[in-house]
Structure 1
Amino acid sequence: MSSDTHTQNSRVNENYWSSQRIAIYALLSALALLLSFVEFPIFPAAPFLKYNPSGIIVLLAGFAYGPLAAFIVALISSAPHIFTNPIGGLIGLLCIAAFALPAATIYKKNRTKRGAFIGLIIGALAFILTAIVLNLLFTPLYTATSVSQVAAMIIPILLPFNALKAVINIVVTVLCYKPVTSLLKAFAQSRKNERRI
């Protein structure tokens, strides 16, 4: 690696982990963490299954700053739940990571409406599949439900519930992306101006 390349990489890393970027990650993580405690039923056939909107913030972080940002926000917002409910918290982390990481990676490579749409659809499919597989693997371990009983819930309950979650996340992310990124840019600019004073 040449010295010029090494210098460019160092600058990229410094910019990526700048105090401004860390502050934005902290802000998004705090918002995602707060929303992770807001849970409510969205599927009348299974009111015991709850939706929380924290995944929207993870998706917005990924679209704005890339897949690593999405993972950081997902991990921080999931950490308290992993400590208090290890299996449930881990399932939540893996599910939102399965959604946000492919979506953010595809959008990072193709920053167009088409790239965003493809990323969100592929992320949603990965999320739905991951949620179903993890339910089959883990639900029998911490409930009195057998694997066959969980399998019987896939078509009438798990598939439509997770599809509905994915649709809500996609719609809200699309509606909020531009306003949120504008606010983040304003926040970053204000921090830059503060450092100049």
Structure 2
Amino acid sequence: MKVSLNSMVKVAIMSALSLIIMFFELPLPLFPAFLKIDFSDIPALLVTFSLGPLYGALVELIKNLLHLFRTSTVGIGELANFLVGVSYVVPAGIVYKYNKSKKGAFLGLAVGTASMVVFASLFNYFFLIPMYAKVLNFPTEAVVAMGTEVNKHIVDVRSLISYAIAPFNAIKGIVVSLVVVLIYKRLSPILHKGLGK
């Protein structure tokens, strides 16, 4: 893959923007306090649609590498954010790459959202929640209890995934996708234009 200076400058700018957006998190009602929505995947999706999925993944990587300087999770949260972000933007970008139309964009975002929901659910169940317990000494029971506070049906890790993690990521994917649909067409000329032209 040929990488141009123009493309890398765009990636750098969008990575910085993504990092800034990452600091603005919004809690959602009816979800545990540790689940907060941010819109930092938007710049990655814009880059994905304009330059390709690998560039979008690069924005996700740089954003999280920069966020390591302010980490409170010894990198675990950044690793999770990167992997979940990639599971969203890359499938969306692959679909759009082969069908560059409004329909292709909608289909790509739907596939990306579904991919993120499945990956985030499995990743939390098998890796992330156990890793928080092992590395940060944050007991799994405490994580589940945070879910039980807002939803009495959350009684174990499996129900936490079913009633909190999966629906949260579905909502996040839908909201972020809607924002991208609304702004991509307007920003597309800038994203495709060469710098200095």
**Could you tell which deviates more after superposition, 120-129 or 108-117?**
108-117
Q: What residue in structure 2 maps to residue 49 of structure 1?
A: 35
Q: What residue in structure 1 maps to residue 150 of structure 2?
A: none
Pairing 1:24–2:10 present: yes
Give the Cα–Cα distance (whole angstroms) in 2 for the partners of residues 19 and 117 of structure 1.
30
Q: What residue in structure 2 maps to residue 179 of structure 1?
A: 186
- Report % sequence identity: 35
Residue 88 of structure 2 aligns with an amino acid whose one-letter code is: F
TM-score, length-normalised on structure 1?
Answer: 0.81
Pairing 1:122–2:111 present: yes
Give the C-alpha shift of residue 82 in structure 1: 4.6
CA-to-aligned-CA distance 1:89-136 (integer Å, 9 cap, x gap): 111101010010011011011101221121111111110111111111
Pairing 1:140–2:130 present: yes
Residue 99 of structure 1 aligns with an amino acid whose one-letter code is: Y
Aligned length: 176
Structure number with the bigger relative contact order (C-alpha 8 A, sep ≥ 6) is 2
Among candidates 101, 111, 127, match of residue 112 of structure 1: 101
Give the C-alpha shift of residue 51 in structure 1: 1.2
Structure 1 unaligned segments of length 5 or more: list them: 1-11, 193-197
Pairing 1:158–2:148 present: no
Give the Cα–Cα distance (whole angstroms) in 2 for the partners of residues 119 and 179 of structure 1.
19
Query: Higher helix share goes to which structure?
Result: 1
Could you say which structure has the larger radius of gyration? 1
Counterpart contact for 2:85–2:116, Cα < 8 Å = yes
Among candidates 85, 90, 98, match of residue 87 of structure 2: 98
**Could you tell which deviates more after superposition, 42-51 or 23-32?**
42-51
Counterpart contact for 1:43–1:49, Cα < 8 Å = no
Q: What residue in structure 1 maps to residue 135 of structure 2?
A: none
Structure 2 unaligned segments of length 5 or more: list them: 133-137, 145-154
TM-score, length-normalised on structure 2?
Answer: 0.81
Counterpart contact for 1:81–1:88, Cα < 8 Å = no
Give the Cα–Cα distance (whole angstroms) in 2 for the partners of residues 108 and 26 of structure 1.
21
Give the Cα–Cα distance (whole angstroms) in 1 for the partners of residues 125 and 43 of structure 2.
27
